[in-house]
């Protein structure tokens, strides 16, 4: 038998399909098996429910076993925090492939998100969803948070958390709608273009301080009056050339008008 | 009562014997100024300057231009306990702990933006009406220099609080100075007193901002105004206005009241903005720390074109055999281009005077349409500047309109070469079109929109003659003769001196005025008036005489 006749044999297609399926199945079992061992707290029925949702809504891009594909990254080891962040802010599931997933209304309810998170966490150990205690900013230091924010966050998210442009149409989103948990999760997992800030580089206390500063920004206090979007001198320049100079020119026309 | 009057009179005459003010006032109080709203644009700049002086004095009382490190302990909670320079801390105290401090700071900053904006629109008016022509070239140069000086002054003021935003701007300036070939580093160390940021720059900038520049500006503004008095104000063309008179109202009481009132309008609007609209919220930026930066770091609008140029510049950099870096990517947009632009701005009156060969004095303003090439150059310059300003804000535009910042940069790189010439051509065509329309108006009157059908079926549009006022305005147009190139040699075969320059001048002159539509001569106007009377009016009269209604009048009046 020549090699080409082997390829053309009636049973070859079937055999290749079998091998492929078996490999995927065993691989899947191997992966999920080890993951479950490292995430013992999740209950099995929740993981099962999450898996179902995952296969329906996520597997097309992230792969049947969360291993990723050309359309989406691997989810093994991203942890529950990443799922909670991405799905709760509506970024996932993606509506269409663009430069970046925008924030939108979430597709799944809280129970479904918890199930999805439990399932993905079961694929491999990763950051867990922060507890209420972890995002309690009561005792955090506001000024220190500001200092940390300016050092780590302002360069992309702007001094007032209004967001900023990155290269090639990507952007750092506005933080005005982000909840403390979401901010914490984002720092832990580094969604999209954001770097992640594990506890080794940004301890829990510092994360809390940053969240407190962002909460302060979200209140939108503007001691100087109308904030003009808190975007810096550009909107101030637009204002002076429209409203400001407009008023003065109107006054000049009025004063300079011919007396008839 | 009479005693008081007598005593007062005596005191005044005693004073006047020593300082002869009354004769000065007598000579100038009745000086006539023409009336037009666009003549008040420069006033906005002047009043903004006065507001800046007044509010600036208040700010100097509390601002401490010192780089000494202090720990903030004022009333703005998000910064309590943070280390910062004394300059920044005192600017915070000024904003939160000094009564009226924030209001005055905001008025000061808004007035600065007004100052620059008003100077720009004032410059537009001067440029587009040809008010810079002889004898006012010097005043154009003074004004242009003030524009440049105020630009630097504004940058200094923006930088003084030593906040994160302005610190980034200072860093860029330090970079531009460093990019000067060969001497850059030395120059930077000289200006900053060592490594960036150092402790010397803010105190030095303070002296520059509150002492040196205001002093120079006061002197230049004085000179600017004295020259306006001396040259007398230009006026727009109109009935009874000529190059040798000024039609208007006396300084006292009309303009004293108008200008005085306008000062309060400007002050009022600026104070309103200072009270209601936040500007430069330094507390939100935080203190300057060289390793921090915020997204959307932009300068005030008048520096925006420099930032835009810097952002658009390709990354050209050489390293020579001595290992020196030639940072063209920063030096060209940061220093060379601004130098060229300012040079062109200041030299423009002289360039145009050379091209036209015009040695006459001009006190009557030119309508922008009547000098299409100048108007085109002006619009092209505005487009050029506008593209750069927009590119200076490209990150905000990208995120607001969901665009890619890289595409915006490429748009700028291409548009900066294509859009200004297109704007020039379009404006020039537009002006020539308006000139044709003017000529048409003089010869045949204004189109009334009424279409008349004559008995034999012809349709004509009724033209109504224009008013004498409008005629005077249109007739003010000066016809510029195109300068012809001299022959290469004279009749004795001697080469004409400066032939190349003269040929260039002929070429430019043709470009400037070659397409200008000639104003109709009085004879032509007379002939045209005669012609239309004979043809149309005659026929219309005939219709009326025949006892018939005018058959079909279509147009705005017919319904």
Tell me the per-residue pLDDT of A100-159, one tens digit each, with 9 for 90 and over. 899 999 999 999 999 999 999 999 888 999 999 999 999 999 999 999 999 999 999 999
Q: Flag whether residue A239 sits within 8 Å of chain B, measured between CB atoms.
A: yes
Q: Flag whether residue A28 sits within 8 Å of chain B, measured between CB atoms.
A: no
**φ and ψ of B288, to 5 deg:** -75, 125
On chain B, the residues whose CB falls within 8 A of the CB of A146 are 78-79, 82, 286
Residue B82 near residue B162, CB atoms below 8 Å:
no
Beta bridge partners of A172: A164
Give the distance from residue A194's alpha carbon to the nearest chain B alpha carbon, in angstroms: 14
pLDDT at A85: 95
On chain B, the residues whose CB falls within 8 A of the CB of A222 are 278, 281
Q: Which of A145, A154, A216 sits opposite B292 (nearest CB)?
A: A154
Beta bridge partners of B372: none
Give the distance from residue A79's alpha carbon to the nearest chain B alpha carbon, in angstroms: 30
Q: What is the CATH topology of the domain spanning A16-123?
A: Cytochrome Bc1 Complex; Chain D, domain 2 (1.10.760)
Q: Residues with Cβ < 8 Å from A31, sequence gap 6 or more?
A: A65, A66, A67, A76, A123, A124
pLDDT at A14: 73
CATH number for B155 = 1.20.810.10
Q: Flag whether residue A251 sits within 8 Å of chain B, measured between CB atoms.
A: yes
Question: Mutate which of B296, B385, B394, B408 to disrupt the A interface (most A C-beta within 10 Å)?
Answer: B296
How would residue B516 be classed by pLDDT, with cut points 50, 70 and 90? confident
Tokens read off for A206: 């510092």
Q: Flag whether residue A231 sits within 8 Å of chain B, measured between CB atoms.
A: yes
Fold agreement (A16-123, A142-235)? yes
How would residue A257 be classed by pLDDT, with cut points 50, 70 and 90? confident
Touching B: A residues 161-200, CB under 8 Å: 162-169, 171-172
Residue B404 lies in a domain: no
Residue B367 lies in a domain: no
Cβ of B77 and A257 within 8 Å? Answer: no
> Residue A238's closest chain B neighbor by CA?
B301
**φ and ψ of B249, to 5 deg:** -120, 155
Give the distance from residue B295's alpha carbon to the nearest chain A alpha carbon, in angstroms: 4
Tell me the per-residue pLDDT of B495-513, one tens digit each, with 9 for 90 and over. 888 888 888 889 998 888 8
Domain ranges of chain A: 16-123, 142-235
Residue B215 lies in a domain: yes
pLDDT at A38: 41
- d(CA B387, CA B380) in angstroms, rounded, equals 11
Question: Above 70 in pLDDT, residue B325?
Answer: yes
Tell me the per-residue pLDDT of B148-168, one tens digit each, with 9 for 90 and over. 999 999 999 999 999 999 999
Question: Above 50 in pLDDT, residue A34?
Answer: no
For B453, the 3-state DSSP assignment is: strand
Tokens read off for B246: 């000024």
Give the distance from residue A1's alpha carbon to the nearest chain B alpha carbon, in angstroms: 58
| DSSP string over B183-238 | THHHHHHHHHTSSSSTTTHHHHHHHIIIIIHHHHHHHHHHHHHHHHHHH---B---
How would residue B549 be classed by pLDDT, with cut points 50, 70 and 90? very low
Question: Above 80 in pLDDT, residue A64?
Answer: yes
Query: Are B296 and B443 within one domain?
Result: no
Tell me the per-residue pLDDT of A74-109, one tens digit each, with 9 for 90 and over. 999 999 999 999 999 999 998 888 888 999 999 999
Helix axes B21-29, B2-18, angle to 10 degrees: 90
Question: Which of B255, B290, B307 is the last residue in one of the domains?
Answer: B307
Residue B376 lies in a domain: no
The count of structural domains within chain B is 2
Question: Which of B307, B336, B356 is the last residue in one of the domains?
Answer: B307
Q: Flag whether residue A94 sits within 8 Å of chain B, measured between CB atoms.
A: no
pLDDT at B491: 82
Range with the lowest mean pLDDT among A101-110, A221-230, B11-20, B310-319?
B11-20
Cβ of A233 and B301 within 8 Å? Answer: yes
Question: Above 80 in pLDDT, residue A6?
Answer: no
pLDDT at B527: 84
pLDDT at B553: 47
Q: Which of B38, B293, B399 sits opposite A165 (nearest CB)?
A: B399
Question: Above 80 in pLDDT, residue B384?
Answer: yes
Q: What is the CATH topology of the domain spanning A142-235?
A: Cytochrome Bc1 Complex; Chain D, domain 2 (1.10.760)
Tell me the per-residue pLDDT of A214-254, one tens digit each, with 9 for 90 and over. 999 999 889 999 999 999 999 999 999 999 999 999 999 99
Cβ of A245 and B118 within 8 Å? Answer: yes
Question: Mutate which of B36, B105, B263, B294 to disrupt the A interface (most A C-beta within 10 Å)?
Answer: B294
* 3-state SS, one letter per residue, for A170-200: CEECCCCCCCHHHHHHHHHHCCCCCCCCCCC
On chain A, the residues whose CB falls within 8 A of the CB of B164 are 150, 154, 159
Beta bridge partners of B541: none
pLDDT at B536: 55
Q: Which of A158, A233, A252 sits opposite B300 (nearest CB)?
A: A233
Cβ of A223 and B403 within 8 Å? Answer: no
Query: Are B248 and B99 within one domain?
Result: yes
**Residue B449, domain extent:** 431-554
Question: Which of B307, B332, B357 is the last residue in one of the domains?
Answer: B307
pLDDT at B403: 92
Q: Flag whether residue A82 sits within 8 Å of chain B, measured between CB atoms.
A: no
The ipTM (two decimal places) reads 0.89
């Amino acid at each position: 038998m020549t090699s080409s006749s082997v390829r053309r044999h009636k049973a070859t297609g079937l055999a290749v399909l079998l091998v492929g399926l078996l490999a995927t199945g065993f691989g899947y079992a191997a992966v999920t098996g080890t993951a479950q061992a490292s995430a013992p707290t999740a209950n099995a029925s929740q993981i099962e429910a999450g898996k179902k949702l995952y296969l329906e809504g996520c597997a097309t891009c992230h792969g049947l076993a969360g291993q990723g594909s050309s359309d989406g990254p691997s989810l093994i080891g991203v942890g529950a925090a990443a799922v909670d962040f991405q799905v709760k802010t509506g970024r996932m599931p993606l509506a269409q492939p663009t430069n970046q997933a925008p924030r939108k209304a979430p597709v799944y309810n809280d129970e479904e998100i918890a199930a999805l998170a439990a399932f993905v966490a079961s694929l491999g150990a990763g950051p867990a969803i922060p507890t209420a205690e972890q995002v309690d900013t009561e005792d955090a230091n506001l000024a220190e948070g500001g200092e940390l924010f300016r050092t780590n966050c302002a360069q992309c998210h702007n001094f007032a958390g209004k967001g900023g442009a990155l290269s090639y149409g990507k952007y750092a989103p506005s933080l005005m709608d982000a909840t403390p948990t979401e901010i914490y999760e984002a720092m832990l997992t580094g969604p999209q273009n954001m770097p992640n800030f594990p506890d080794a580089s940004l301890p829990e206390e510092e994360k809390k301080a940053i969240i407190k500063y962002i909460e302060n920004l979200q209140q939108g206090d503007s001691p100087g009056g109308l904030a003009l979007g808190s975007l810096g001198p550009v909107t101030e320049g637009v204002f002076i050339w429209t409203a400001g100079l407009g008023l003065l020119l109107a006054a000049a026309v009025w004063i300079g008008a011919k007396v008839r | 009562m009479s005693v008081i009057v007598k005593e007062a009179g005596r005191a005044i005459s005693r004073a006047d014997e020593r300082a002869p003010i009354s004769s000065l006032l007598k000579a100038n109080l009745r000086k006539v100024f023409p009336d037009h709203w666009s003549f008040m644009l420069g006033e906005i700049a002047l009043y903004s300057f006065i507001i800046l002086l007044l509010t600036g004095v208040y700010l100097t009382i509390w601002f401490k231009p010192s780089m000494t490190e202090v720990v903030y302990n004022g009333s703005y909670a998000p910064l309590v306990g943070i280390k910062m320079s004394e300059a920044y801390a005192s600017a915070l105290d000024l904003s939160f702990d000094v009564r009226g401090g924030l209001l005055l700071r905001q008025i000061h900053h808004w007035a600065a933006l007004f100052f620059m904006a008003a100077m720009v629109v004032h410059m537009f008016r001067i440029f587009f009406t040809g008010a810079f022509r002889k004898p006012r070239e010097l005043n154009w140069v003074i004004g242009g220099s003030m524009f440049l000086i105020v630009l630097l002054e504004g940058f200094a003021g923006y930088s003084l609080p030593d906040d994160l935003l302005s610190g980034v701007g200072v860093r860029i300036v330090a970079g531009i100075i460093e990019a000067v070939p060969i001497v850059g580093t030395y120059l930077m160390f000289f200006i900053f007193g060592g490594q960036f940021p150092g402790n010397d720059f803010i105190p030095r900038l303070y002296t520059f901002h509150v002492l040196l520049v205001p002093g120079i500006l006061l002197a230049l503004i004085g000179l600017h105004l004295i020259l306006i008095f001396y040259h007398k104000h230009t006026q727009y063309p109109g009935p009874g206005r000529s190059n040798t008179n000024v039609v208007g109202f006396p300084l006292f009481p009309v303009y004293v009241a108008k200008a005085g009132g306008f000062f309060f309008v400007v002050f009022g609007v600026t104070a309103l903005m200072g009270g209601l609209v936040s500007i430069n919220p330094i507390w939100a930026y935080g203190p300057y720390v060289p390793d921090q930066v915020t997204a959307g770091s932009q300068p005030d609008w008048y520096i925006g074109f420099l930032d835009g140029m810097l952002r658009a510049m390709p990354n050209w950099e050489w390293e020579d055999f001595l290992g020196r870096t030639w940072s063209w990517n920063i030096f060209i947009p940061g220093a060379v281009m601004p130098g060229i632009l300012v040079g062109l701005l200041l030299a423009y009156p002289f360039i145009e005077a050379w091209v036209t060969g015009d040695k006459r004095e001009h006190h009557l303003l030119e309508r922008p349409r009547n000098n299409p090439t100048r108007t085109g150059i002006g619009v092209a310059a505005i487009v050029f500047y506008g593209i750069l300003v927009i590119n200076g804000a490209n990150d905000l535009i990208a995120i607001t309109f969901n665009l890619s910042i890289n595409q915006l940069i490429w748009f700028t790189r291409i548009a900066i070469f294509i859009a200004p010439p297109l704007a020039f051509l379009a404006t020039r065509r537009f002006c020539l079109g308006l000139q044709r329309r003017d000529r048409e108006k003089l010869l045949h009157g204004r189109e009334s929109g009424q279409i008349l059908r004559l008995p034999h079926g012809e349709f004509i549009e009724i033209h109504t003659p224009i008013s004498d006022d409008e005629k005077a305005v249109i007739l003010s147009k000066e016809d510029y003769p195109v300068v012809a190139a001299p022959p290469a040699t004279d009749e004795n075969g001697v080469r004409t001196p400066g032939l190349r320059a003269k040929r260039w001048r002929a070429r430019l002159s043709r470009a400037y005025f070659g397409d200008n539509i000639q104003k109709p001569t009085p004879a032509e106007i007379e002939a045209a008036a005669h012609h239309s009377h004979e043809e149309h009016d005659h026929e219309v009269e005939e219709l009326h005489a025949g006892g018939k209604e005018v058959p079909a009048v279509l147009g705005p009046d017919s319904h």
